């Protein structure tokens, strides 16, 4: 019989974990000093941050906000190093609105606020679906707010869609094959031949309008946002169509889509912008007022659509063949199969790529400076050319950079939110 020497009858009280395994110390050990290489990197990074703060910090701390010119700024600073942020204080309305009449600043502001209202039903599922009607009329409303003039022009232009749908519905029972084409062609004819006389007629009968603002008054972030938002909104549907076209079995459709995508992707955006601003002028008859902003928006949209098409094609390629076959076996036609089964999955996969293209497009809008449009970068040159602010450099770029960061970071965060919301897999 073995002799039992010791049996513990009571549990030991739990001990405090060692100091190195709890709280801040553990976090620091795990995250900052987990090895000698990481330790060195941590020290080096900390030294760099301190160095940066010591060099840039005073520049911000000494910033001058109240001055009428760079010379005055320097007088106030009296030899110390400091930012002359007075230029931002003096010119921020111009950087935001360009040459838009200052008494009408509420119009672009309202258009921007309404943009968020119009986007809400598309972005957040909690918003009532009825708001989609507002999203549908928003383009016309925004155009009217920004450019002003008679209310009837956007109304009549939007009516083109109604005309197309009406023609389609009217013809469908009689000529089912022709109806879709007629529905597509009718609005084009409406826009080409009916909009101007009908607008003139309605405006004469019932004049409703606000002060018109010419395109050359647009500038600064208003211009960037107009070009960016329009390009983003139009390039997604166009990109989806191009991606589907590229995967199509119809030879002609496929060839056109491949040709378009490869051509646009093979040409730098700046070339397209020069084409829009310079080459078109030679071909159009003199006196044609083909708005420069419209020309730029078209080019930017086509450019982004080609990239978008390839991003979405990547998403389409990731869908297993079984999904297409399942859709076919359910008896769905092509458009229903795409709309209900393939595209929802493909677009979800493509979200990071799509948002990537959006952000790239928004930042590319600064390229319009090369064709003489006064976007924020262009305005910074113009502000610097003013004798009061000649010689100022970093302050303007910092402000513009900060503004762009806000927009791009916002888009990026939303895309991550969307990815989490749509996450249905079990990885």
Partner 1 sequence: MKKTLLLGSLVATGFGAGAATAATLDDVRAAGQVKCGVSTGLAGFSAPDANGEWQGFDVAVCRAVAAAVFGDPSKVQFVSTTGQTRFTALASGEVDVLARNTTWTFSRDADLKFTFVGVNYYDGQGFMVKKSLGVSSARELDGATVCIQTGTTTELNLADYFRVNNMSYEPVPIETNAEALQQYLAGACDVYTTDASGLAASRATFADPENHTILPEIISKEPLGPLVRHGDDEWADIVRWSLNAMIAAEEYGITSANVEELAKGTANPEINRLLGTEGNLGAMLRLDAPWAKNIVTMVGNYGEVFNSTIGEATPIGLARGLNAQWTQGGLLYAPPFR
Q: Which positions touch partner 1 (CB under 8 A)? A: 69-71, 74, 90-91, 94, 98-99, 102, 214, 216-217, 274, 277-278, 281-287, 369-374, 378, 381-388, 390-391, 393
Per DSSP, the residues of 172-237 read: TTT-TTTHHHHHHHHHHHIIIIIHHHHHHHHHHHS--EE----GGG--HHHHHHHHHHHHHHHHHH
Six-digit token string for 245: 């076209």
Select 125 or 372, whichever has its Cβ closest to partner 1: 372
Least Å distance, CB 393 to partner 1, is: 6
Select 77 or 403, whichever has its Cβ closest to partner 1: 77
Least Å distance, CB 322 to partner 1, is: 45
List the beta bridge partners of residue 149. Answer: 210
Least Å distance, CB 183 to partner 1, is: 27
Select 109 or 217, whichever has its Cβ closest to partner 1: 217
* Measured distance CA(113)–CA(260) in Å, rounded: 35
- State whether the Cα torsion 369-375-379-382 is positive or negative: positive
* Measured distance CA(320)–CA(312) in Å, rounded: 15
Least Å distance, CB 46 to partner 1, is: 27
Select 150 or 380, whichever has its Cβ closest to partner 1: 380
Least Å distance, CB 226 to partner 1, is: 17
Least Å distance, CB 191 to partner 1, is: 22
* Measured distance CA(285)–CA(196) in Å, rounded: 19
Select 21 or 281, whichever has its Cβ closest to partner 1: 281
* Measured distance CA(309)–CA(256) in Å, rounded: 13
Select 334 or 370, whichever has its Cβ closest to partner 1: 370
* Measured distance CA(14)–CA(196) in Å, rounded: 85
Contact (CB, 8 A) for 118 and 137: no
Least Å distance, CB 390 to partner 1, is: 5
Please, what is the Cα angle at 215 between 261 and 371, to 5 degrees?
A: 55
Six-digit token string for 381: 């040159």
Per DSSP, the residues of 99-145 read: T--GGGTHHHHHHHHHHHHHHHHHH-TTS-GGGHHHHHHHHHHHHHH
Select 102 or 424, whichever has its Cβ closest to partner 1: 102
Select 83 or 349, whichever has its Cβ closest to partner 1: 83
* Measured distance CA(96)–CA(109) in Å, rounded: 10
Least Å distance, CB 150 to partner 1, is: 19
Select 304 or 371, whichever has its Cβ closest to partner 1: 371
* Measured distance CA(196)–CA(156) in Å, rounded: 9
Least Å distance, CB 210 to partner 1, is: 19
Query: What's the Rg (C-alpha) of the chain?
Result: 29
């Amino acid at each position: 019989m073995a002799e039992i020497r010791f049996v513990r009858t009571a549990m030991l009280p739990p001990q405090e974990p060692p100091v190195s395994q709890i709280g801040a110390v553990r976090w620091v050990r795990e995250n900052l000093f987990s090895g000698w290489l990481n330790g060195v990197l941590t020290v080096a990074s900390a030294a760099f941050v301190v160095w940066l703060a010591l060099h840039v910090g005073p520049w911000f701390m000494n910033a001058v906000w109240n001055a009428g010119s760079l010379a005055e700024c320097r007088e106030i600073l009296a030899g110390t190093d400091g930012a002359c942020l007075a230029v931002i204080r003096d010119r921020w309305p111009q950087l935001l609105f360009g040459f838009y009449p200052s008494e009408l600043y509420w119009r672009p502001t309202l258009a921007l606020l309404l943009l968020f209202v119009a986007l809400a039903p598309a972005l957040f599922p909690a918003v009532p679906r009825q708001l989609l009607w507002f999203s549908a009329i928003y383009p016309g409303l925004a155009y009217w707010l920004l450019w002003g003039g008679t209310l009837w022009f956007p109304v009549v232009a939007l009516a083109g869609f109604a005309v197309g749908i009406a023609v389609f519905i009217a013809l469908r029972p009689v000529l089912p094959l022709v109806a879709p084409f007629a529905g597509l062609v009718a609005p084009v004819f409406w826009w080409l031949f009916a909009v101007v006389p009908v607008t003139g007629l309605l405006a004469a009968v019932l004049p409703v309008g606000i002060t018109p603002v010419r395109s050359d008054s647009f500038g600064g972030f208003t211009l960037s946002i107009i070009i960016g938002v329009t390009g983003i909104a139009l390039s997604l549907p166009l990109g989806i169509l191009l991606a589907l076209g590229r995967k199509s079995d119809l030879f002609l459709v496929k060839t056109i889509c491949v040709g378009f995508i490869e051509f646009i992707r093979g040409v730098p955006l700046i070339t397209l912008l020069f084409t829009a601003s310079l080459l078109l002028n030679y071909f159009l008859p003199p006196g044609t007022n083909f708005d420069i902003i419209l020309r730029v928006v078209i080019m930017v949209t086509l450019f982004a659509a080609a990239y978008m098409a390839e991003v979405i094609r990547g998403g389409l390629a990731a869908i297993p063949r079984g999904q297409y076959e399942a859709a076919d076996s359910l008896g769905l036609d092509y458009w229903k199969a795409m709309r209900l089964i393939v595209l929802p999955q493909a677009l979800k996969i493509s979200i990071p790529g799509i948002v990537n293209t959006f952000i790239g497009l928004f930042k590319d809008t600064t390229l319009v400076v090369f064709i003489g449009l006064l976007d924020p970068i262009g305005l910074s040159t113009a502000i610097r050319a003013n004798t009061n602010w000649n010689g100022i450099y970093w302050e303007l770029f910092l402000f513009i950079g900060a503004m762009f960061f806000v927009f791009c970071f916002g888009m990026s965060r939303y895309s991550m939110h969307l990815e989490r919301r749509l996450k249905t897999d079990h990885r």
